[in-house]
Amino acid sequence: MKILGIGSRIEHPKYGKGVITNVSSTDYWVTFIEKGLETIPLDDTFQIIEAAENEVDTVSFSEVETTLRNLLKKWSDISEIVPIGDKWKGGKLILEPGQPGLASKEIPIDTFFHKIVMVRDRLRVMEQKVNSSNLEEIEKIELQQYITRIYGSLTSFNILFKSPTNHFVGEKSK
């Protein structure tokens, strides 16, 4: 089976005439005149109106974008957008000193939350760097245990996160 290139024009029995705008390892992404964007299997039945040669990239743009996003998330300290719980939006953290006569300090909870997320993201980067380092295995394990304990110390802040998938997780009891 010959794979058609991007720009090839086809006529599909169900969708009508269209142009191949992307090719993945299993599907053509085709923009049809009357039906809009549809994906069809590479081995689907259709008539070739005009084939574009040598324009096939078996990795789609979205696959490259997803891979790049995952790599950046894994290896950089760029923070992903992590939503704060709805009940905390617009709130403030008030720090009251224990000594009389001293002023209290108010911090927008969104600012505080952003700093907590940055700490979490930098811990993840540190964890990746430890795991990929040339340290002895025993040293890696010891450092990993410290990082896990740090995560455990930060679990009190989990109430601020909208989604449990973003929570800090420390050592789990067996």
pTM comes to 0.51
The string of pLDDT tens digits covering residues 140-166 is: 999 999 998 898 888 888 888 888 888
List the one residue out of 62, 63, 64, 56 whose CA is nearest residue 20. 56
Q: pLDDT tens-digit profile of 94-119? A: 999 999 999 999 999 999 988 888 88
Confidence of residue 92 (pLDDT cuts 50, 70, 90): very high
